[in-house]
């Protein structure tokens, strides 16, 4: 079974809003055996929306739309869908009751424009939107479905999980002969090798594997994800067999056997070992701390950070001697070692990570060009530091520095885990 996503809104096409909805929907569809065929973004324009729907119905079984369901004049999706499915708006008492309850403590919201939200297309199946005012609408188009959802990300995500996916899965099982595809993905992550060099190592592997098992290279911030995929043809056993072969070929560069973010892998390893971590950051400006703090449960292993951007902060809060800063510089092995050891000691954690570098675009020199970053890892067994050259663009440098810091931590923790077995 195939699905297509149509995101609606001028804000998406001028870069004012980033489309995170499609990525999340793609994950949810894939997890439920529904292949996503295409993603399209269109203007708040009647003809543009209708043309996109027409095209999508030529290709897929399910069309998912988001956006354009608000109460203002630029939100035209509901009326366009009425035109497309040759129906009209009627008042839905259940939606009205829900909206009044939702905003019972916000009388400023319950106005004549909000009242348009409980007007719904007569031919649509209306599903509850637990956290918002825009109703979820399902239109039957022969054996195909069109689902219209709000564009607010948290509303869309809850709607997909609680209402839309259960409806789609139940409808398909009850009313059609479609079988859900057995979509399989296996992903591992490697570092310390270029994409082209990796491709050379895997030439024979790619030539030998069956064509229905696809290999994708997904590089980002010095990490390359290798993903094996099959859409309904490979068995679990077959996929596992090829994944093990792939893993053996790249074992020298392997850092993870899952598609989880690096900070999640670090967190799981820390929790499994009953360990904690703190960070001392200069060039990354708190970005590393933000990653470690990003996911629920991080308080179990992440205790805090000192963002020491200015040298005076490195000196006063992290104890980096002025002499070291004057002679060796803030971007040096000596400085990051002291930073990592100090933050570990002061916050009282098992591990400390420190970063200091030249993120640019100015500040570089012949001996320390823009992109030079020193990273140190303080552990109970000692401290190690390493210098990296991470490009020329500021955001690229800081993102890559965080990836290097986390990758180094994974290697340290994995080594301890292996030794304890």
pLDDT of residue 212: 92
| Alpha-carbon torsion (17, 18, 20, 26), positive or negative | positive
What percentage of the chain carries pLDDT values higher than 90?
A: 80
pLDDT of residue 52: 97
List the beta bridge partners of residue 127.
136
- DSSP classification of residue 387: E
Residues whose CB is less than 8 angstroms from the CB of residue 356 and which lie 6 or more positions away in sequence, other chains included: 282, 283, 330, 331, 332, 335, 336, 339, 373, 374
pLDDT, tens digit, 9 for 90 and up, residues 140-155: 999 899 999 999 999 9
pLDDT of residue 86: 96
Q: How far apart are CA 274 and CA 132, in angstroms?
A: 41
CA 250 to chain centroid, in Å, comes to 25
What percentage of the chain carries pLDDT values higher than 70?
A: 97
pLDDT band at 275 (very low <50, low <70, confident <90, very high): very high
> CB-based burial of residue 328 (10 Å sphere; 0-12 exposed, 13-18 middle, 19+ buried)?
middle
pLDDT, tens digit, 9 for 90 and up, residues 322-360: 999 999 999 999 999 999 999 999 999 999 999 999 999
pTM for the structure as a whole: 0.75
Q: How far apart are CA 374 and CA 387, in angstroms?
A: 4
Q: How far apart are CA 274 and CA 288, in angstroms?
A: 21
pLDDT of residue 178: 47
pLDDT, tens digit, 9 for 90 and up, residues 22-65: 999 999 998 888 899 999 999 999 999 999 999 999 999 999 99
- DSSP classification of residue 135: P
pLDDT of residue 133: 86
Provide the strand spans (E) within 192-311. Answer: 214-220, 223-231, 254-256, 277-281, 302-307
> CB-based burial of residue 302 (10 Å sphere; 0-12 exposed, 13-18 middle, 19+ buried)?
buried
Q: CA–CA distance from 64 to each of 21, 130, 347 (Å)?
A: 11, 19, 48
Residue 420 clears pLDDT 70, i.e. is over it: no
> Hey, what are 404's tokens?
């290097």
pLDDT, tens digit, 9 for 90 and up, residues 161-202: 999 999 988 876 666 554 445 778 899 999 999 999 999 999
Q: Quote the radius of gyration of the chain (alpha carbons, Å).
A: 26
Question: Residue 90: how many CB atoms within 10 A of its CB?
Answer: 12
pLDDT, tens digit, 9 for 90 and up, residues 279-333: 999 999 999 999 999 999 999 999 999 999 999 999 999 999 999 999 999 999 9
Residue in the structure block whose two tokens are 């995929």: 229
Per the prediction, the chain carries an average pLDDT of 92
- DSSP classification of residue 300: G
Residues 48 and 190 sit within 8 Å (Cβ to Cβ): no
Provide the strand spans (E) within 105-157. Answer: 119-121, 125-127, 136-141, 144-149
pLDDT of residue 121: 95
First to last CA, the chain: 44
């Amino acid at each position: 079974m195939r699905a297509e996503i149509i995101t609606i809104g001028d804000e998406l096409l001028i870069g004012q809003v980033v489309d995170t909805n499609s990525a999340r929907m793609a994950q949810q569809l894939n997890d439920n055996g529904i292949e996503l065929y295409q993603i399209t973004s269109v203007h708040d324009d009647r003809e543009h929306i209708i043309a996109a729907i027409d095209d999508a119905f030529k290709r897929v079984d399910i069309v998912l739309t988001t956006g354009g369901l608000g109460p203002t004049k630029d939100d035209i999706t509901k009326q366009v869908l009425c035109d497309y499915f040759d129906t009209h708006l009627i008042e839905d008492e259940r939606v009205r009751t829900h909206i009044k309850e939702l905003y019972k403590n916000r009388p400023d919201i319950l106005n004549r424009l909000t009242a348009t939200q409980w007007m719904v297309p007569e031919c649509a199946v209306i599903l509850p939107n637990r956290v918002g005012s825009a109703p979820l609408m399902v239109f039957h188009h022969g054996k195909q479905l069109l689902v219209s959802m709000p564009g607010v990300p948290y509303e869309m995500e809850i709607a997909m999980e609680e209402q839309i996916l259960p409806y789609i899965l139940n409808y398909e099982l009850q009313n059609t002969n479609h079988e859900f595809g057995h979509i399989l993905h296996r992903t591992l992550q490697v570092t310390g090798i270029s994409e082209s060099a990796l491709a050379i190592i895997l030439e024979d592997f790619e030539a030998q594997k069956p064509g229905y098992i696809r290999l994708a290279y997904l590089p980002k911030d010095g990490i390359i994800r290798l993903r094996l995929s099959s859409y309904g043809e490979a068995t679990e056993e077959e996929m596992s067999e090829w994944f093990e072969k792939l893993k053996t070929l790249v074992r020298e560069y392997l850092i993870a056997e899952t598609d989880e973010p690096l900070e999640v892998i670090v967190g799981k390893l820390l929790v499994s070992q009953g360990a904690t971590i703190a960070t001392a950051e200069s060039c990354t400006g708190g970005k590393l701390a933000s990653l470690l703090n990003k996911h629920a449960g991080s308080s179990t292993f992440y205790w805090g950070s000192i963002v020491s951007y200015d040298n005076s902060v490195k000196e006063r809060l992290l104890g980096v001697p002025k002499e070291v800063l004057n002679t060796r510089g803030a971007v040096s092995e000596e400085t990051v070692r002291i930073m990592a050891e100090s933050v570990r000691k002061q916050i009282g954690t098992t591990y400390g990570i420190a970063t200091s570098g030249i993120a640019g675009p100015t500040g570089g020199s012949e001996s320390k060009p823009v992109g030079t970053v020193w990273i140190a890892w303080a552990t109970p067994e000692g401290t190690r530091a390493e210098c990296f050259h991470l490009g020329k663009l500021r955001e690229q440098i800081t993102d890559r520095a965080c990836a290097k810091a986390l990758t180094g931590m994974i290697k340290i923790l994995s080594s301890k885990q292996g030794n304890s077995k």
